[in-house]
Structure 1
Amino acid sequence: MADLTILLLRACLALLAMPIYLLSFVGIWKPFCKKVFIPYVLGHISDIHLKKSKKQRQELFQTLPDFRRGSGELRLLEIGTGCGVNFEFYPPGCKVTCTDINPNFQQFLSKNMAKNQHLHFEQFLVASGDDLHQVPSGSVDAVICTLVLCSVNNISGTLEEVLRVLRPGGAFYFLEHVAADPSSWKYFWQQICHPTWKLIFDGCCLTRELWKNLQQANFSELKLRHVSVALPWTPVDPHIVGYAVK
């Protein structure tokens, strides 16, 4: 009965979103989504999420200086930089390489770069998380990834690339929304919203159990917490936050 209810409610939601499904069918939605919808809508959503998660981000990134090299240098690589909302939390003087599969965030990214003159921005690479071939192996001290693993095509491939580009002893920092408890109403609504949400938000998956992927990756140490960073009127919660050491 529960499965039938989910299917019926999914159908109702799809009916409401029928114009988007039709645009997707004729090949219009995806380019519009990447060029206009995602940069502008997610730009504003990122600001809201930042306000809700500011404490968690401050606590998370305060340990970044611990991963400086002996020379005092700290090289950061951010996967899925988007609008650059994490920049304010990075230590002064660190060198930042930004990557994103979608180059259309430039307006918001440039704005946050200008606001964070305490950082040295080295380059922006158009790249997916599972293909960072432009980044040399063992070349960075920390990799940052927030609200990105929900939409990558290959989670294990992305984590393999993270391990490759990190130097020995470097760290992977993450803050990601994940599937709720399967016995909860939140998970019930995540299942209903999942297909339409994934279409509208360019591959964002609501029901990934990302903590399992991190546990199975070849990190030497994993520090992970489950937290709540609820966004009003959305199924994007709970979250995991922490870091893993190579």
Structure 2
Amino acid sequence: MLPARRCLSQKKMKSCLMKLCRLLCFLLTLPLHVMKFTGLYAMYKRVFPLLAYNITFSYNDKMHETKRDLFRNVGKFANTDGSLRLLEIGCGSGANFKFYPHGCTVICTDSNPHFEKYLQMNMDANKHLTYDTFIVTSGEDMDEVKDESLDVVVCTLVLCSVSNVQRVLQEVRRILKTGGAFYFLEHVVSDPSTWTHFFQHVFEPLWYYLGDGCMVTRATWKDLEAAGFSELHLRHIQAPEVTLMIRPHIMGYSIK
């Protein structure tokens, strides 16, 4: 019984330390809270696309094999005439374009209009695709997209920063054709026994602002399990060589 009590005591101490450190981090971010409240933080949204564009090169290099594996069977959801309409939620600068099958038509959405400049750069570099339109909207509100009009929807490193994950997944189901697929690659909260979990909770208040709303403590797989898709193919992985805070990932696809 003594070792069990000691283990329980250590867990409580670790939890208390985590909460204290998180509070200290939160206090350090108070100026950022003030900036958001006064509207000054909006200036960062102009800068963030440039930062994201540059970070994308490093992330894609490290995750190249993972992404290639993720998107390897997208083509099987094409129509009998070979056409495939794909919509990407939170497309950012178009980091996934090179992994999409030749000839598919891509619709891009993002809530930040300042990504368009960098998005065009990747469009110019990926001539194997046909680009439909760029819609400035959130994943929770895609009213411009018709019901059951898409064969594939893609979302990578986006569900961490939306305001309502379940609402986004409801929209995905609405716009997908029956039998269509939703592909995802997202960083998630780590196992509570790990130090990664500790640091995710401690530094999340600061990470939230640096990552333009990114939450590193979401258990997004639970939202996917509850979303009502007919099939869910999901794997938990540890992303190689990326920042400790976002190393735990989930990847896969679900079918409507």
TM-score by length of 1: 0.94
Rounded to whole Å, the distance in 2 between the matches of 1:157 and 1:48 is: 31
Residue 34 of structure 1 aligns with an amino acid whose one-letter code is K
Most deviating of 212-221 and 226-235: 226-235
- Judge conservation of contact 2:180–2:255 (CA < 8 Å) in 1: yes
- The CA deviation string for residues 185-219 of structure 1, in whole angstroms up to 9 with x for no partner, is 10011010111211232211001001111111111
Q: Deviation of residue 15 (structure 1)?
A: 5.5
Identity over aligned residues, as a percent? Answer: 45
Most deviating of 224-233 and 137-146: 224-233
- Judge conservation of contact 1:74–1:141 (CA < 8 Å) in 2: yes
Q: If you compute each CA radius of gyration, which structure gives the higher value, 1 or 2?
A: 2
Report the 3-state secondary structure (helix = DSSP H, G, I; strand = E; otherwise coil) of the residue aligned with 2:32. helix
Q: Deviation of residue 49 (structure 1)?
A: 1.3
1:61 aligns with 2:71: yes
Rounded to whole Å, the distance in 1 between the matches of 2:83 and 2:242 is: 40
Question: Pairwise mapping of residues 59-138 of structure 1 onto structure 2 (< 5 A)?
Answer: 59-138=69-148
Q: Deviation of residue 23 (structure 1)?
A: 3.0
- The CA deviation string for residues 55-80 of structure 1, in whole angstroms up to 9 with x for no partner, is 01101111011000112110000000
- The CA deviation string for residues 27-59 of structure 1, in whole angstroms up to 9 with x for no partner, is 312x112111x1111222222211111101101
- The CA deviation string for residues 72-115 of structure 1, in whole angstroms up to 9 with x for no partner, is 11000000000101000111110000000111112211110000
Rounded to whole Å, the distance in 2 between the matches of 1:50 and 1:129 is: 23
Rounded to whole Å, the distance in 2 between the matches of 1:13 and 1:230 is: 27
- Which residue of the other structure, out of 230, 235, 240, is the alignment partner of 2:245? 235
Report the 3-state secondary structure (helix = DSSP H, G, I; strand = E; otherwise coil) of the residue aligned with 2:67. helix
Report the 3-state secondary structure (helix = DSSP H, G, I; strand = E; otherwise coil) of the residue aligned with 1:59. helix
- Which residue of the other structure, out of 193, 201, 214, is the alignment partner of 2:211? 201
Q: Deviation of residue 11 (structure 1)?
A: 4.1
Residue 172 of structure 1 aligns with an amino acid whose one-letter code is F
1:34 aligns with 2:26: no
Map of 1:218 onto structure 2 = 228
- The CA deviation string for residues 169-193 of structure 1, in whole angstroms up to 9 with x for no partner, is 0000000000000111100110101
Most deviating of 42-51 and 171-180: 42-51
Distance 1:225 1:104, change over 3 A: same
Map of 1:158 onto structure 2 = 168
- Judge conservation of contact 1:137–1:165 (CA < 8 Å) in 2: yes
- Judge conservation of contact 1:175–1:240 (CA < 8 Å) in 2: yes
Map of 1:175 onto structure 2 = 185
Rounded to whole Å, the distance in 2 between the matches of 1:221 and 1:233 is: 31
Runs (5+) with no aligned partner, structure 1? none
Rounded to whole Å, the distance in 2 between the matches of 1:39 and 1:68 is: 31
Runs (5+) with no aligned partner, structure 2? 1-12
Q: Deviation of residue 146 (structure 1)?
A: 0.2
Q: Deviation of residue 4 (structure 1)?
A: 3.1
The aligned length equals 244
Map of 1:20 onto structure 2 = 32
1:139 aligns with 2:167: no
- Which residue of the other structure, out of 11, 16, 39, is the alignment partner of 1:4? 16
Question: Runs of 4 or more off by more than 4 Å in structure 1?
Answer: 14-19, 230-234
- Judge conservation of contact 2:25–2:205 (CA < 8 Å) in 1: no
Residue 43 of structure 2 aligns with an amino acid whose one-letter code is F
Rounded to whole Å, the distance in 1 between the matches of 2:173 and 2:36 is: 35
